[in-house]
Structure 1
Amino acid sequence: MSESQNIEYKESWRDEYLKWICGFANAQGGRIYIGINDKQEIVGVADSKRLMEDIPNKIVNYLGIVADVNLLHSNEDKEFIEIVVEPSNVPIAYHGQYHYRSGSTKQEMKGTALQQFILKKMGRSWDDTTNDSAKLDDIDRNAIDYFLRRAINAQRIAPSLNGEDTHNVLHNLRLLSEDGHLKNAAILLFGKEPLRFFPGVEFHIGRFGMNEADLIFQDVVEGNILQMADKVVALLRSKYLISPIHYEGMQRIEPLEIPEDALREMIYNSLVHKLYVGVPIQMWVFNDHIELWNEGKLPDAITIDTLVEKHSSHPRNQLVASVFYKAGFIESWGRGIRKINEAFDKAGLERPVFKESEGGLLVTFGRNYPTMKDAVSNIQSDDGINDGINDGINDGINDGINFTQTEKLILKAISANKNITYVDLMNDLSISEATVTRAFRNFKTNGLIIRQGANKKGYWQITEKGKNVIS
């Protein structure tokens, strides 16, 4: 047998191998063979009688666990020792350090990873811990009412609970400790300002052009995570995504370019499984695809392959998942990925790709719009000002882009002075900042200009496509 997640070979015994035993006990258990080298050749051990006494005693004294230590013999009558370590249901430390067997390596757990590990061994999740600094006044009653409406509509709580007292609602959802203090989940789900308590309770969205270095605009969604998905979808619908119009009979239909149910499922999954002591959820919206990432590794029993197949549910935040289920947002059977794939299949779209990345889960999916590979079609200014400009869009097929006269004047000004500033353009052309901002978004999205160099010392370069517009 080769070395694996559960097997380790050592030529001779050293006390430092107690760390490996600690790692096996904290993980899935395993076996250590003393007297076998890395080539799996039995070299034997000296003084086996002493080792058979020392090793079990040291395991008990230093780790507080009992392991089976067996003396075995090879065909050549060489003695070697087998140490069988069972997984422990409590955290095991060696000299105050917690080790964990992951793959074929041993790792020392620290910080957030250690906190999550200890909670898991105790049968609890981070969202189930008490937050002594939060009070009932920190709970938003509007969020409670929102939950009650959704849960009653989903038929997952009794209609008689409508209007129930805030304290009773939290108690029934197991969001209060035995002494009445709020748990972390209560603040995440219903808090007025969860960001006061947890810096990672944000959803970042960025609109990018050709690559990640070409950020056009961005937004940050804050607030409780129960209503966050609604806010994110509304923002995506109004500012980032396309809703192509078609008619069914006399009825005007404006579905999102991406199946909304699938989009919500992906957002719900990111909210439920996020590691909230980490960084915010991030979404990158590109011309032809979208990437969504949340921090938090997959559970030990789940891989990317099993994620897209039938599997049991393993929520990182158990109380959050329970409330999302009662609100009708998610199912409790680990069917989320299957539902997403089915929705994309039904829409005739390529399925999303799931990947473990930077300590979290990254999902990438294409955009369903005929011209999306070369251009974005509905970037909307958030300045609330209408300057009477009919922003032209490059359809990637027909090069006859209809830019306004003002936009062409701006391009000519950039062509004449590559170091020109927004202020110069506003003064020289007597136009508003909103007009300049919107024009630059159009130019960058359609590949008419490129920023060369740093922000302060850089300059604008007109591309061949841009030169064609002003020629």
Structure 2
Amino acid sequence: MPPFALTPVRIFISSVQKEFAGERAALRDYLRGDALMRRFFEVFLFEDVPAADRRTDDLYLDEVRRCDIYVGLFGNDYGSENAGGLSPTEREFDLATTEGKYRLIYVRGTDDAARHPKMRALIGRAEAGLIRKRFNTPSELVAGLYAALVEYLEEKQLIRSGPFDAAPCMKAMPGDLDPERMAWFIRTARATRRFPLAGDASPHELLAHLNLLDDGKVTNAAVLLFGNRPQRFLISSEIKCAHFHGTEVAKPIPSYQVYKGTVFDLVDAAVDFVLSKIALSVGTREAGPQAPVRYEIPKEAVAEAIVNAVAHRDYTSNGSVQVMLFADRLEVWNPGTLPPSLTLEKLREAHGSVPANPLLAEPMYLAGYIERMGTGTRDMIRRCTEAGLPEPAFAVSDGFQTTIRRVQNRGAGETREETRDKTREETRENTREKMLALIAADPAISTKELAEQIGITPKGIEWQIRQLKQAGRLKRVGPRKGGRWEIIGG
């Protein structure tokens, strides 16, 4: 279930004149090749339309009407004129102006005397109404457009220098927050973390204390934490939960739910969804008046995976957190990635807390949804190991994914220790097979690269290599640096 794509911002690059064929192609290739530009923008060039589909007289004007940003390239040539004496370039510019499009004008060269008189007049009109920039080479044009488009994204609050959760939620008002939710939070935080505000503190005092106001406007974090209906303003902040009887995504989906509400509501609902679908064992009352219960996946591990996905996701993405329960595993995916200071390897070691949404994570900690900053993944690993499950796997591709394996088909006379040993051996064998597949694809791959792609520590990779060598399945050819691996026996 892949995340939804962003609705692209359409860019129209003028014009049909051959004078700028190279520049238009350079802009198109750059906008489609750069990761940031490709994420937000979709570019139209007249040359990309099949010749048979072209209606030269009006096709480009239709595209101007559809675009969000008009990029005008002005040079020496004016272009062919219609019956009214206007070139396609001028007609495009006039329509973009009439339609109120976001216009960016780039003029090649500084010698205006060499230009067609009508082009000089057009540049003069453009200069009077908006800022235009000069360029001489395609690389200068690309650099200038990149800076302008980044500024556009910042103006539209699609990107920002500060964290998303600290930015004001432009359409939300204080009245869109729920005072009862805020009162609940104060009570809970006081009982859980000795929160310093008094129990009768006002909503404004709470928001100010948690830094959830920006010049009097409520922030995105405030809406996510205490909003009446957060998804009115932040559509993708919902959680999608699905349960499959098999090991692959297949339709019809036996159980599928989309949960909306505050981040606290979302976590509670998603955790309950998973716990309602997995096995539960009830012990005896030998140790006390209440019989202990135990889920096949520890509740704390389930909650930690979901809390991490909600607290650390990228809220600028149109993708939603996805919780998918299969017959053999639980997958929790969120649109986001690790901060530069963290790696998949470091998640398994002691590491500092680097929350992607600090103003969101802190209240979740105060309410007891996050136990200790920076220890969540290690706690998850410990809980799963104690329950006889394989260590959770972490991966980063088009988002961040946590996978927790389920133990299947335990024999009637099999002890938890036997199950744990069997599971560990199966996990190790799977790891070795993954290593051999990666080595077959790249015999020069390093242990560090193996560790990053598989999601275990370099020490774990070295242990596995020793096992493979002892089993006669792998050998090293050449020096440690510059050598290669050789798989024995195919």
Per the shorter chain, which TM-score range? 0.5 to 0.7
Q: 1:280 to 1:146 in 2, by over 3 A?
A: same
**Cα distance between partner residues in 2 of 1:305 and 1:293:** 18
Residue 217 of structure 1 deviates from its aligned partner by 1.8
Q: How does 1:199-238 map to 2 (within 5 A)?
A: 199-210=235-246, 211-214=248-251, 215-238=253-276
Contact 2:259/2:269 (<8 A) preserved: yes
SS of aligned partner of 1:95? helix
Q: In structure 2, which of residues 338, 344, 347 is the aligned counterpart of residue 307 of structure 1?
A: 347
State the number of aligned residues.
268
Partner residue in 2 for 1:119: 160
Residue 368 of structure 1 deviates from its aligned partner by 4.3
Letter in 2 for 1:132: M
Letter in 2 for 1:119: R
SS of aligned partner of 2:345? helix
Partner residue in 2 for 1:273: 312
Residue 369 of structure 1 deviates from its aligned partner by 5.7
Is 2:280 the partner of 1:243? Answer: yes
**Cα distance between partner residues in 2 of 1:221 and 1:262:** 20
Q: TM-score, normalised to structure 1's length? A: 0.52
Letter in 2 for 1:97: Y
Residue 265 of structure 1 deviates from its aligned partner by 1.3
**Cα distance between partner residues in 2 of 1:333 and 1:364:** 21
**Cα distance between partner residues in 2 of 1:315 and 1:133:** 25
**Cα distance between partner residues in 2 of 1:336 and 1:193:** 28
Partner residue in 2 for 1:171: 208
Residue 201 of structure 1 deviates from its aligned partner by 1.1
Q: C-alpha offsets along residues 163-199 of structure 1, whole Å, 9 cap, x if unaligned?
A: 3211111111110113x11011100111011110011
Q: How does 1:248-259 map to 2 (within 5 A)?
A: 248-249=285-286, 251-259=290-298
Partner residue in 2 for 1:341: 381
**Cα distance between partner residues in 1 of 2:379 and 2:156:** 32
Contact 2:281/2:294 (<8 A) preserved: yes
Is 2:218 the partner of 1:182? Answer: yes
Residue 252 of structure 1 deviates from its aligned partner by 2.4
Q: 1:114 to 1:341 in 2, by over 3 A?
A: farther
Q: 1:284 to 1:145 in 2, by over 3 A?
A: same
Partner residue in 2 for 1:414: none
Partner residue in 2 for 1:138: 176
Partner residue in 1 for 2:433: none
Residue 356 of structure 1 deviates from its aligned partner by 0.5
Letter in 1 for 2:256: Q
Letter in 1 for 2:283: H
Letter in 1 for 2:396: E
Contact 2:158/2:316 (<8 A) preserved: no
Contact 1:156/1:327 (<8 A) preserved: no
Which structure features the higher share of helix residues? Answer: 2
Percentage identity across paired residues of the two chains: 29
**Cα distance between partner residues in 1 of 2:322 and 2:268:** 16
Letter in 2 for 1:272: A
Q: C-alpha offsets along residues 87-145 of structure 1, whole Å, 9 cap, x if unaligned?
A: xxxxxx9314159xxxxxxxx9799899899634xxx2011011231111111223212
Contact 1:193/1:224 (<8 A) preserved: yes
**Cα distance between partner residues in 2 of 1:294 and 1:217:** 20
Q: 1:115 to 1:314 in 2, by over 3 A?
A: farther
**Cα distance between partner residues in 1 of 2:333 and 2:226:** 23
Q: How does 1:74-113 map to 2 (within 5 A)?
A: 94-98=143-147
Partner residue in 2 for 1:364: 403
Partner residue in 1 for 2:72: none
SS of aligned partner of 2:359? helix
Can you give the 5+ residue segments of structure 1 that lack an aligned partner in the other structure? 1-15, 24-92, 100-107, 373-471
**Cα distance between partner residues in 2 of 1:95 and 1:115:** 19
SS of aligned partner of 1:147? helix
Q: TM-score, normalised to structure 2's length? A: 0.50
Contact 2:164/2:316 (<8 A) preserved: no
**Cα distance between partner residues in 1 of 2:285 and 2:363:** 37
SS of aligned partner of 1:319? helix
Can you give the 5+ residue segments of structure 2 that lack an aligned partner in the other structure? 1-25, 35-141, 412-490
Q: C-alpha offsets along residues 239-260 of structure 1, whole Å, 9 cap, x if unaligned?
A: x222122214164222222111
**Cα distance between partner residues in 2 of 1:147 and 1:165:** 12
